[in-house]
Structure 1
């Protein structure tokens, strides 16, 4: 989409207004309700502005009335697939208009049509287990088969797995990030980000050049949940960004789903807490599709979101054994079956892992991962 000088000048006014200290999403919206557009806001008198904002903010707005369009923004918008979507644009996601503090504008890179597609958020721990990532990827894959767009945050762990699942399904996915769109964070997901731009969409409310800051990620979570019909939490500890996203989703009237796990795993405690608070327990795709009243699949292929008990993760033999064990007690025979290793190999590694304090030997010939 080609953008002309007049459009760049207009969008620069939105960014200029949003960059003023003290003007957050809600204040911006109050100004828009009072004056109609950023152009009218900048054209208003100080006395008119003071009826809506503080004297300090009114003075700053008045002094910035003749601000020139940003060269940086103009150059960025001139590049393929780059957009700035404002509340005045028809592409602005209608779902975000339902939340209490919608971002006045969004930097977007990719396919804008996804902004108003039915979506579901999938979030979870950055330090996810192998099984957790498999579950996130599988649920994302199947939910795409039901026509949903997968929304997540491009973080390591569950977020990345959810995006990958959507891409494998040739489905739609949106990544909402906590940096400027000229920065890829984490850097490890640079290739994944490129794939999402080609087949999906990346969004941010933060200005170009904004680096990774801890305070930005909880703020962006309201957009992840706000875009979605519901939020699926795959793995999370009790105090995590995923819990924040789930809380925001509940406040926004969205459905909350959580996958349970071992009572011994810290990555399950956040999900268990959500279930206690009323989130729907999920162990198969139908738990979500029935709640959201989605159309059933046309084929009879079994859902890939069923827990894959027999697949062994890659890595060193000891790491393979640890990842296969999970946090529930397991007998030696089961570990041999799941890992494909010999009895002698598994027994030797269990003894070493027990000496390292990573595994506990229980009664009845069972073993349990403890860290």
Structure 2
């Protein structure tokens, strides 16, 4: 018989989530009911079937997870050899802001380090088809936040998100990148050097296993992490085809996340009329000028 307590928490969570396929929302329910991965692994079928919407198939997978622990342990060893750390929601240092989500990630894959829970954090986002003016504006804003000691999180998308990382580094600040895929399938692939650079001083974070390719669903789950990791979301450029940013703003509205759209004092809002109106309807507060970053920083609690 396999004893669950022979294996560390990371291995137990890998077995449950990666190998048995338990999704974040169900894992949240299981933790609420049983308290720990070890107790989840010991749960019997009748206890699991008492959970709302639990299926016999899912209950069978969970009760059979103990048999996957050896495989999960080997997987954990291989990840460590590749300098990919596994952090679970039970670990010290896990981002506390993520618990504001109704489906916080059970585990995260990391290269580098995680954002400091004791420091302020903003997510910078915007159009992938960014203009030169938008990129310049974003680099300035990222630099202003970085110089004030604020941590920056952004995706690895082209345009504004990539500019956020560049601006943070130019100001000797720290940024953290949330991937839309696994480490073996960096998207877009031409941003691999940027991901490596970010990992040197900050960290690259993924909810997805290394082999996971970019999909619409992984894109949406990464948006959820971007919003969850920050105390506020700041948008610098936005158009009708800025699908990622519009989805991000919609999610901010759903969970009540503080959101701003920064207006260039010389060029005005870098957005079309419809997208700007949608951002405002999602709760985004327009602010004009670089000096307004100070107001945002004061609001980060």
Q: 1:22 to 1:75 in 2, by over 3 A?
A: closer
- CA distance in structure 1 between the aligned counterparts of 2:181 and 2:76, rounded to whole angstroms: 15
SS at match of 1:122: strand
Matches within 5 A, 1:298-313: none
Q: Which has the higher helix share?
A: 2
Gaps of 5+ in 1: 1-5, 296-371
Q: Deviations over 1:324-350 (max 9, x none)?
A: xxxxxxxxxxxxxxxxxxxxxxxxxxx
Q: CA deviation at 1:7?
A: 8.9
SS at match of 1:19: helix
Matches within 5 A, 1:218-233: 218-233=220-235
Q: Which structure would you say has the larger Rg?
A: 1
Q: What is residue 112 of structure 2 aligned with on the other side?
A: 110
Q: What is residue 287 of structure 2 aligned with on the other side?
A: 282
Gaps of 5+ in 2: none
Q: What is residue 81 of structure 2 aligned with on the other side?
A: 78
SS at match of 1:282: strand
Indicate if the aligned counterparts of 2:249 and 2:282 stay in contact, CA closer than 8 A: no
SS at match of 2:15: helix
- More off after superposition, 262-271 vs 139-148: 262-271
TM-score under structure 1 length normalisation: 0.71
Matches within 5 A, 1:84-163: 84-114=86-116, 117-163=119-165
SS at match of 1:235: coil
Q: 1:92 to 1:265 in 2, by over 3 A?
A: closer
- Paired residue total: 289
Q: CA deviation at 1:146?
A: 1.4
1:259 to 257, 262, 278: 262
1:54 is the counterpart of 2:59: no
Q: CA deviation at 1:294?
A: 6.7
- More off after superposition, 114-123 vs 254-263: 254-263
Greater RCO, 1 or 2 (C-alpha within 8 Å, sep 6+): 2
- CA distance in structure 1 between the aligned counterparts of 2:128 and 2:296, rounded to whole angstroms: 27
Indicate if the aligned counterparts of 2:138 and 2:160 stay in contact, CA closer than 8 A: yes
Q: CA deviation at 1:171?
A: 0.7
Q: What is residue 337 of structure 1 aligned with on the other side?
A: none
- CA distance in structure 2 between the aligned counterparts of 1:41 and 1:294, rounded to whole angstroms: 39
Indicate if the aligned counterparts of 1:9 and 1:69 stay in contact, CA closer than 8 A: no
Q: 1:264 to 1:201 in 2, by over 3 A?
A: closer
Q: Deviations over 1:57-84 (max 9, x none)?
A: 111112232211333432112344x321
TM-score under structure 2 length normalisation: 0.87
